[in-house]
Amino acid sequence: MMIRPQVFKIDLSFVDVCICRTSEGSEEKDSDRILAFTLSQSGKHAVLTDDHKRLVLFSTEPSWQCISTRWVVRRCTSLVFTQAEDELYVADKSGDVYSFSVLEPQKPGELKLGHLSMLLDMTLSPDDKYIITADRDEKIRVSLRRAPYNIQAFCLGHREFVSSLLVPEQRPDWLLSGSGDGMVNVWHYETGKRLHSVDLRKLCPDSENTDVAKKFAVSRMVGSPDGHHVAVQCERLPVIQLFLQGSGEEELLKSSETLALPLAPWDIAFDSQNRLWVILESQEVNVLLYGFSEPHWKQCDPESPDLKRVTDSLHTHWHLFTGSVGGESPFEHLYKVNFDNMASYLQKKRERLELESKKRAAANSSKNRKKCKTES
């Protein structure tokens, strides 16, 4: 999703409206969290879902207006519009995907496909032919959108949950996937063939840290509109890893630069001018803007009109974000937990054998004493 010139301005007023709307008449203020939010490709529609399982659809032109409020069955994890913007797909924590009509905003959702595991991300192919889902159990499924019961392919190879998906600009046949194993894979999703892999732990300056090495989740991937750059954000790490999209068959993603940040980013996005916006979890310095000037990315002037407008707006509305500062990582409980029962078993076995050996030694000693007394 690209940032368009008007999006930031609208977003902030939109968040204000949303929080006010969801807080009114609610006794549990802490449960009014917005779980997922997305814009359509043209920016004419926006949708969000919250902790109360409401699906709220907005029209953004000529001004923001609520079109409908519908209900979902389970709490949602991902939302995506079709390219035609006539349908909205909703993925939830139980592994189901529902389709909601945009043209008929009061029509209930229709179940399209199910999974045996929690869905973490979802995307559509640029031609709207395939729906691509990623789940907690390391799998990526490619299904026909018009006939979701027909599975085109599985993309298998990650060792932890798959947390982020991206079909890059200019390469509609590629799929990029990020995971809790710290890997970014490039796939030909129609066949399920893995084309390239990048281990982010080798590129991160904190990779020697044991805790970082164990839990290294990709939280967001975005591609520039010109199709040349891909930015990757990792959970809790104060860096952005940038790649160049290759055209050859050997190195399809080439590491170009690592941007060091003062804090771990909240979110990242490219705008229509191929500039990279970074939102930070800080009221003092909340937005950074980078532009590409060959061969490096450079931070833009803090006094630039676009950056100053966004920064001032965030400062004004910062009270809306204070409840999210320092929140728990959404990936913390998704990692596989291994129980080493064998070590415990072997320890108990050693203790049992030692105890039996002592009993035998004591019995032999008593037997020998009795024998000596008898001979005497």
Average of per-residue pLDDT across 316-340 = 78
Task: Report which of 187, 185, 186, 217 is spatially closest to residue 201, judged by C-alpha positions.
Answer: 217
CB of 203 within 8 A of CB of 212? no
CB of 162 within 8 A of CB of 177? yes
Given a cut of 60, whether residue 22 has pLDDT beyond it is no
pLDDT at 207: 54
Count of Cβ atoms closer than 10 Å to residue 216 Cβ: 25
pLDDT tens, position by position, 51-75:
999 999 999 988 999 999 999 999 9
Given a cut of 70, whether residue 248 has pLDDT beyond it is no
DSSP 93: T
pLDDT at 44: 94
Q: Taking the domains of the chain in order of start, what are their residue ranges?
A: 1-13+32-114, 156-204+213-326
When pLDDT is cut at 50, 70 and 90, the band that residue 209 belongs to is: low
Q: What CATH topology corresponds to 1-13+32-114?
A: Thrombin, subunit H (2.40.10)
When pLDDT is cut at 50, 70 and 90, the band that residue 205 belongs to is: low
Query: What long-range pairs does 103-110 form, CB within 8 A, spacing at least 24?
Result: 105/57, 105/67, 105/68, 105/70, 106/68, 106/70, 108/70, 109/55, 109/70, 109/72
pLDDT, greater one: 142 or 322: 142
When pLDDT is cut at 50, 70 and 90, the band that residue 188 belongs to is: very high
* Residue partners of 313: CB distance under 8 A and separation at least 6: 8, 9, 12
Q: What CATH topology corresponds to 156-204+213-326?
A: Methylamine Dehydrogenase; Chain H (2.130.10)
Which secondary structure element, helix H or strand E, spans residue 374, and what is its range?
helix 341-375
Given a cut of 90, whether residue 17 has pLDDT beyond it is no
pLDDT, greater one: 337 or 267: 267
pLDDT at 20: 36
Please state which of the ranges 58-72, 315-329, 354-368 shows the lowest mean pLDDT: 315-329
* Residue partners of 68: CB distance under 8 A and separation at least 6: 56, 57, 105, 106
Supply 130's token pair.
């395939």
pLDDT tens, position by position, 115-145:
999 999 999 999 999 999 999 999 999 999 9
When pLDDT is cut at 50, 70 and 90, the band that residue 281 belongs to is: confident
Question: For residues 334 and 312, what is the distance between their CA atoms, to the nearest angstrom?
Answer: 36
Please state which of the ranges 35-49, 59-73, 315-329 shows the lowest mean pLDDT: 315-329
Share of the chain above pLDDT 70, in %: 85
DSSP 271: B
When pLDDT is cut at 50, 70 and 90, the band that residue 25 belongs to is: very low
- pTM of full prediction above 0.85: no
Task: Report which of 164, 65, 12, 69 is spatially closest to residue 3, judged by C-alpha positions.
Answer: 12
